[in-house]
Amino acid sequence: MKPTFHPAIHCVCALIFIGLLFAGQGRLAGVLYLMWIAVEIFVSAVRGKHGNDTER
């Protein structure tokens, strides 16, 4: 699976998750992270971006 969104969006989301984790909101950070992964997989499936081995 290739990343669907711009790398800057990934960096901002990672900073938000780390900030929540250090703020004592570990469960919220985990839930948001799992939601982010689900959205990433869904958008990747809809747009048809899989991997380098299928794009020859």
Lowest-confidence range among 3-7, 16-20, 24-28? 3-7
pTM, to two decimals: 0.62
The 10s digit of each residue's pLDDT in 20-43 is: 888 988 888 888 888 888 888 888
Nearest 10 degrees: Cα torsion 10, 2, 6, 27: -20
C-alpha 56/C-alpha 52 separation (Å) is 7
Domain chopping of the chain, boundaries: 7-47
